[in-house]
Structure formats: C-alpha cells, structure tokens
C-alpha cells in the first residue's frame, strides 16, 4: 500500500494533468475525449494509468459474477471518475464513494471537464485516508 505522502504527491499530479487537459482542449466535448487526452497526459508524465478498469463486485465476501467499471485508475491507487456534463448530480458523488469502497482504494477524484474553470469541476474523495 502506498503511503499518504505518495498519494498526496500523486493527487497533485492528477490535478495538474487534468488542468493541462482542460487548458489545452477546453470544455464542451465528450467525456471520451477527455479520457483519452488525460491518458496521454499521464503517459507524457510517466504516470501509469489505465482506463475502463473492471472491478469484480462482491457481496458479503462472495463473488456476484458481476463487474463494474472505473473510468480511470492511476498508479493502481487513485480512482478518477470523469464527467463532461452541464450539471453535476448527487448520484455522481455516491458513485465514486461506492467505487472507493468496493475497490478498496483510499483516494478518488470526480472531474467534470464541462466547466469554464476546472477548479469548479474537480472534487476529491477519500476512503479511510
């Protein structure tokens, strides 16, 4: 397990990478555009990131045979849930909180690229941090 200092360093890189993508291509595009641009930005920074990561769903320790999909997983530690929407719905918060718990990860970000200033679309979530 990565220590708290390393997670904080990675979170700064995630925020900066998201800001670079937003500055480069701006708001108003499809979520998939930001997903692939962000993957390239992480690649340029030598940060390991994977998109569309399947995670098996367990119930009371038993496999359900079902999987859910994380938009992006950075360095096997940080979940990023990407959005490109006009309005953020509270279910998006619940979604990333559930993903953190189910994947047993400590840090996640909900990022909405469809905003004039990315700071207004960037939210941090923790799970047993």
Q: In which order are the strands placed within the sheet that holds 107-112? A: 49-59, 62-74, 78-83, 107-112, 122-126
Per-domain residue ranges of the chain: 4-126
For 23-55, the pLDDT digits (tens) are 999 999 999 999 999 999 999 999 999 999 999
User: For the domain bounded by 4-126, which CATH number is listed?
Assistant: 3.40.1350
CA–CA distance, 54 with 116 (Å, rounded to integer): 31
Per-chain mean pLDDT for the chain = 95
For 70-81, the pLDDT digits (tens) are 999 999 999 999
Give the per-residue pLDDT at 1: 66
CA quadruple 93, 109, 79, 106: dihedral sign: negative
Average pLDDT over residues 99-120: 95
- How far is residue 36 from each of residues 11, 76, 93, measured CA to CA in Å? 19, 18, 22
- ∠15-19-129 over CA atoms, to 5°? 10
Is 70 exceeded by the pLDDT of residue 91? yes
């Amino acid at each position: 397990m990565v220590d708290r200092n390393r997670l904080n360093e990675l979170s700064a890189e995630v925020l900066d990478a998201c800001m670079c993508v937003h500055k480069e291509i701006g708001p108003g595009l499809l979520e998939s555009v930001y997903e692939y641009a962000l993957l390239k930005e992480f690649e340029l920074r030598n940060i390991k990131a994977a998109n569309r990561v399947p995670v098996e769903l367990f119930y009371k320790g038993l496999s359900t045979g079902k999987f859910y999909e994380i938009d992006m997983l950075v360095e096997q530690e940080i979940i990023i849930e990407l959005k490109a929407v006009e309005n953020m719905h509270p279910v998006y918060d619940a979604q990333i909180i559930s993903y953190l718990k189910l994947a047993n990860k400590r840090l996640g970000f909900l990022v909405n690229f469809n905003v004039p200033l990315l700071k207004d679309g960037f939210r941090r979530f923790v799970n047993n941090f």
